[in-house]
Structure 1
Amino acid sequence: MAKILVSNEEDDRAGHEYLKDIAGLEIVEYDPDNLVLDELQRSVQLLMPPYRGSHRTLGLIEALPNLRMVQLLSAGVDEWRPHVPKDVTVASARGAHAGPVSEWVLSAILTQVRQWPALVRFQDRHIWAHRQFDADTLAGRRVLIVGAGSIGMAVARKLEAFDAESTLVASSARHGVHGPDELPHLIPGHAVVVVTTPLTETTLGLVNAKFLAAMDDGALLVNAGRGQVVDTDALVRELQSGRLRAALDVTDPEPLPSEHPMWDCAGAIVSPHAARTVPGTNRLCYQVAAGQIATFLSGGTPSNAAYL
């Protein structure tokens, strides 16, 4: 009987039912805020970091001598893979976040395109701002999506309903998706650039000053991937000049310090890494994770296993 260490927090308990259906798996609970383990907890072969704040439990890796798999509830593995021994499988919950995060992306785009930040500021001043702001439309606009995984593809499908045209770029080319070598030539001509790519050695700092300079005047950058994919200082300079706009769910650094100049950029809206945070996402993550664990225990390779 394999044992898995699973958080006892409320968001995690809601997903335990999916793990209970896996044959040959025993759930051992732990407190993510107390990393002192008893003998039973130290004997587990699988570790499930908590749904919220998984980084809190990075220190558990050294306390688990029998560890064979780390199953994350996040879409990315960049925070964990460098700290886990190479012979230990690390799998994500990729796919579970596509619905809520793609919905956030659409809401962020529409918020900026239709000038809701300006409208709210007018409302705060009790001003009927008829014809005092420049709203736009998504219809007929081109959107470049950097990252054609489950989230990026979901964004593209949602954009179709607004008569927008998507251009998809991934780590390798496939039918309907461009490869990374084509990216520099694709940036111009898009009203919106959406970042949904995971953080890897090749995507670290991908959206740098050169990338931003290639974006059309007035274009919108939306980052729902990882903060480190974007050069924050370069983006702040573009925002301060008024040439570009941005909608960010992730930043570098994160959390964004209260004194950071990004907060004062009129063309930016900042969401506190909350794109997936809607009711039911935790259960979706556990559902996907359970499938990955079941595959691993049966001797197969989980589809979301990462080898960064």
Structure 2
Amino acid sequence: MTAHIWLPIPPDDIEGLPEGPDYRYWNGGADFPADPADCVFYVVPYMQPPGVGLRPLPQMRSVEVVQTLSAGIDHVEPGLRHLRPGVRLCNARGVHEASTAELTLALILASLRGVPDFVRAQDRGEWLGGFRPALADKTVLIVGYGSIGAAIEDRLAPFELARVVRVARSGRTTERGPVHPLAELPALLPHADVVILSTPLNDSTRHLADDSFLARMKDGALLVNIARGGVVDTKALLAELESGRITAALDVTDPEPLPREHPLWRAPGVLISPHVGGPTSAFMPRARRLLVEQLTRYVNREPLTNVILMTEPPGEH
């Protein structure tokens, strides 16, 4: 058997790849570049339709590492049951933080300052003046305080906020202050002017923002979702938006892509961007650097970075 490494970027376009491995390019096409059974290191295609990256996994009997180029791993997890025990699953920590945090600030500022209204007014040739909410003096709640949550706080720092409140699965202390455990979230929601969702999607966070969560948000608050669409209960959000009690800025939706006739498109007080937190000019250079680092570590049998989990024998949890 010849061991292969599958990459969704042509190997010739990645400067610094370690010599020795047999690199094969596959970005989700109909035909595999080689027998999946010979693949030992699989880099999952990025921004492909659901299920594309899962196709070769049942045949990857020799794979040792599955590397995503996304921060989330929910799109890969359904295929892990096909893999042998001990396969390392790694995410793309370090690739998306800057771009996703940039978009988060853009969505917050655009929503608060009414930029979508200004664009529509420009199309009509209408001068739309008046007072709008500022980000200054607001309390911002970040739900999901990993590397992306921290990067968002980095960019919030100059905006003269009243307070930043951090929430994660478990509580801890950082240089910036406490991170509250998820169990305290219900008590924190009523005090936040802006609630940012940057948590992974898993069994504990699916529909985290349900009717109870949304009802606890203060009147006039802004919900920002740059996590995954499934973190929010869309039906519950629609009810709150249509009441006019809160507003929302969503880079992700459930379902996704959002169908043309879906009522969320026309709900009052919502700004929707089409899941563009990660794909920017910063992506490719950072993705290449990550792959060079990981593959160099792999070839030299050094510990990999960004290991999220290792697969277990069937029936174990």
TM-score by length of 1: 0.90
CA contact (8 A) 2:17 2:296 kept: no
CA contact (8 A) 1:51 1:282 kept: no
Amino acid at match of 2:170: S
What is the aligned partner in structure 1 of residue 143 from structure 2?
A: 146
SS at match of 1:79: coil
Establish whether residue 104 from structure 1 lines up as the match of residue 100 from structure 2.
Answer: no
What is the aligned partner in structure 2 of residue 66 from structure 1?
A: 62
**Deviation of the 1:183 alpha carbon:** 1.1
Query: CA distance change for structure 1 residues 57 and 167 in 2, over 3 Å: closer, same or farther?
Result: same
**Deviation per residue, 1:56-96 (Å, 9 max, x gap):** 23111123221111111000111112311243211110221
**Deviation of the 1:170 alpha carbon:** 1.1
What is the aligned partner in structure 2 of residue 26 from structure 1?
A: 22
Q: Distance in 2 between matches of 1:66 and 1:239?
A: 49
SS at match of 1:213: helix
What is the aligned partner in structure 1 of residue 171 from structure 2?
A: 173
Establish whether residue 52 from structure 1 lines up as the match of residue 47 from structure 2.
Answer: yes
Amino acid at match of 2:149: G
What is the aligned partner in structure 2 of residue 6 from structure 1?
A: 7
What is the aligned partner in structure 1 of residue 313 from structure 2?
A: none
Amino acid at match of 1:87: G
Q: Distance in 2 between matches of 1:163 and 1:31?
A: 44
Over the aligned positions, Cα root-mean-square deviation in angstroms equals 2.1
> What is the correspondence of 1:77-226 to structure 2 with a 5 Å cutoff?
77-84=73-80, 85=83, 86-131=85-130, 134-164=131-161, 165-175=163-173, 176=177, 177-226=179-228
Amino acid at match of 1:13: P
Query: CA distance change for structure 1 residues 130 and 29 in 2, over 3 Å: closer, same or farther?
Result: closer
- Percent identity reads 37
Amino acid at match of 2:261: E
Of 266, 269, 275, the match for 2:268: 266
Of 229, 233, 242, the match for 1:231: 233
Query: CA distance change for structure 1 residues 150 and 289 in 2, over 3 Å: closer, same or farther?
Result: farther
TM-score by length of 2: 0.88
CA contact (8 A) 1:72 1:289 kept: no
SS at match of 1:178: strand
Amino acid at match of 2:172: R
Query: CA distance change for structure 1 residues 4 and 16 in 2, over 3 Å: closer, same or farther?
Result: farther
Amino acid at match of 2:47: R
Which is worse superposed, 185-194 or 22-31? 22-31
**Deviation per residue, 1:267-291 (Å, 9 max, x gap):** 0011111111211312212322433
SS at match of 1:253: coil
**Deviation of the 1:301 alpha carbon:** 4.5
Query: CA distance change for structure 1 residues 22 and 46 in 2, over 3 Å: closer, same or farther?
Result: same
CA contact (8 A) 1:42 1:64 kept: yes
Establish whether residue 254 from structure 1 lines up as the match of residue 259 from structure 2.
Answer: no
> What is the correspondence of 1:37-48 to structure 2 with a 5 Å cutoff?
37-39=33-35, 42-48=37-43
How many aligned positions are there?
A: 300
Structure 2, unmatched stretches of 5+, are 311-317
**Deviation of the 1:293 alpha carbon:** 3.9
Structure 1, unmatched stretches of 5+, are none
Which is worse superposed, 21-30 or 177-186? 21-30
**Deviation of the 1:16 alpha carbon:** 4.6
